[in-house]
Amino acid sequence: MKEVTRRKDKLNMEQNDTKNDLTIGHIIVKNKDNVVKKNNSGYSIKSGKKNKNSVHAKRKKRLIDKKQVKKKRKINKVKNEEDKKECKQFANSNSMVEYNINKVVYDINKNDLIRGDDNNYKNVYLERNKQKYKKKKKIEKTPEDIVNSSLFRYINEFMYTNKSETVQKKLNETKNVFNIYHMGYKNQKDKWPNNPVNDIIKYLRKNFTKIDKIADLGCGEAEIAKTLSGWSISSFDLIKFNEYVTACNITHLPLSNNSQDCIIICLSLMNTDWPKIIFESVRCLKKKATLIIADVVSRFTNYKAFVKFMSNVGCTLSNQVNLDNFFYIFFFENNKKDNVSLTVNEGKVKKFSKLLAPCFYKRR
């Protein structure tokens, strides 16, 4: 009897265990286990205790993040307070400087220079010089100046956007316009950081002599010929501005072939047919002679293409100067081949003229 009762108890225990268990496929997953098991179908089963632990971990992370944010806020507050203190100190120092300036002026009026320290006086004079530079008054322009500046802009744009022949006709019809243009050009030069003509003159003094033949194309007032007086310099422009200038269209120079040791084209490639000026200058240059070209940096639409165009003409780049990122000065050597036809093709002129952009001024 005792053995029968024991067997019944065992069966009851097994039935109770199966109720608490979950049977999926061949694997039995118990609720008491914290381990995640997989069945044959590939599904994973998590216990309740495991989920509780994951939620607890997330809460811990949130608390840690909040603590870090609070720490950062405290650090930022301290930094802001320090910055405010520095600003106050700086403001107080400026007020002290102003006080010293007023004190020194008062002492100078009394002819008493013994009261203040030497360092204070030095600082005061420095501050007074700074104030002079800051308080520069703008020069009031007269109505004539305003009209002349607007005319200069109009003439300049007209010269950049038309052929040399049409510009020459227009200037010959109204010669006063040329004078107005040169007055505006002078005012414009004062605004430049550096004048390329000065650098060209230095180069000529170092590398050439009075005997060498030099041609200045688009010379304007012929500054190079004026400064290097006694040199054999021939200056050309559309209109004769003074005794140094010979009036002509620089696309057709009154010079023989292979006659010049150096040709200068400083801010003169203005018209839409400017490649003709280069063809003409190559015709007049001797072999191994130098061609100097100076122009504004912003005009070069494609720098490499311009240098390639010059090499195709027969001029190889020997040196280049960049003046304050405002002007380029190119020094080319003439290596033209013999028996090369110098006839100008109008189609090529139009094509190569796009390498230099015209100068436009902002409308006011």
Q: Please tell me the predicted confidence (pLDDT) of residue 173.
A: 82
Query: Beta 260-266 vs 27-30: how paired, if at all?
Result: unpaired
52 pLDDT band (50/70/90 cuts)?
low
Q: Give dist(CA 273, CA 10) in Å, integer.
A: 115
> Which of 160-169, 282-291, 326-335 has the least mean pLDDT?
160-169
193 pLDDT band (50/70/90 cuts)?
confident
Q: Please tell me the predicted confidence (pLDDT) of residue 150.
A: 78
363: how many CB neighbours lie within 10 A of its CB? 5
**pLDDT (average), residues 211-215:** 97
C-alpha distances out from residue 69 to 62, 129, 320, Å: 11, 50, 58
Which one is predicted more confidently, 198 or 62?
A: 198
**pLDDT (average), residues 223-247:** 94
84 pLDDT band (50/70/90 cuts)?
low
Q: Which CATH number fits domain 145-353: 3.40.50.150, 2.130.10.10, 3.50.50.60, 3.90.930.12?
A: 3.40.50.150
Q: Please tell me the predicted confidence (pLDDT) of residue 34.
A: 43
For residue 87 the two structure tokens come to 């600003």
Residue with tokens 């081949």, as numbered in its chain: 337
Q: Please tell me the predicted confidence (pLDDT) of residue 197.
A: 95
Q: Please tell me the predicted confidence (pLDDT) of residue 20.
A: 46
Q: Please tell me the predicted confidence (pLDDT) of residue 305.
A: 94
Which one is predicted more confidently, 125 or 357?
A: 357
Q: Please tell me the predicted confidence (pLDDT) of residue 97.
A: 42
Q: Give dist(CA 161, CA 358) in Å, integer.
A: 7
**Which pLDDT tens digit goes with each residue over 254-291?**
999 999 999 999 999 999 999 999 999 999 999 999 99
Please indicate, yes or no, whether the overall pTM of this predicted structure exceeds 0.85.
Answer: no
Which one is predicted more confidently, 60 or 291?
A: 291
265: how many CB neighbours lie within 10 A of its CB? 21
Question: Does residue 332 carry a pLDDT above 90?
Answer: yes
Mean pLDDT, the chain, integer: 75
Which one is predicted more confidently, 117 or 360?
A: 360
Question: Does residue 65 carry a pLDDT above 70?
Answer: yes
**pLDDT (average), residues 3-28:** 50
Q: Which uninterrupted H or E stretch holds 262? A: strand 260-266
Q: Please tell me the predicted confidence (pLDDT) of residue 143.
A: 57
Which one is predicted more confidently, 333 or 105?
A: 333
Percent of the chain's residues with pLDDT above 70: 61
Q: Please tell me the predicted confidence (pLDDT) of residue 345.
A: 78
Give the closest residue to 17 by CA, choosing from 4, 6, 31, 27: 31
**pLDDT (average), residues 132-149:** 54
CB 277 within 8 A of CB 268: yes
Question: Does residue 169 carry a pLDDT above 80?
Answer: yes
**Which pLDDT tens digit goes with each residue over 202-211?**
999 999 999 9
Q: Please tell me the predicted confidence (pLDDT) of residue 226.
A: 95
Which one is predicted more confidently, 319 or 31?
A: 319
Q: Please tell me the predicted confidence (pLDDT) of residue 11.
A: 56
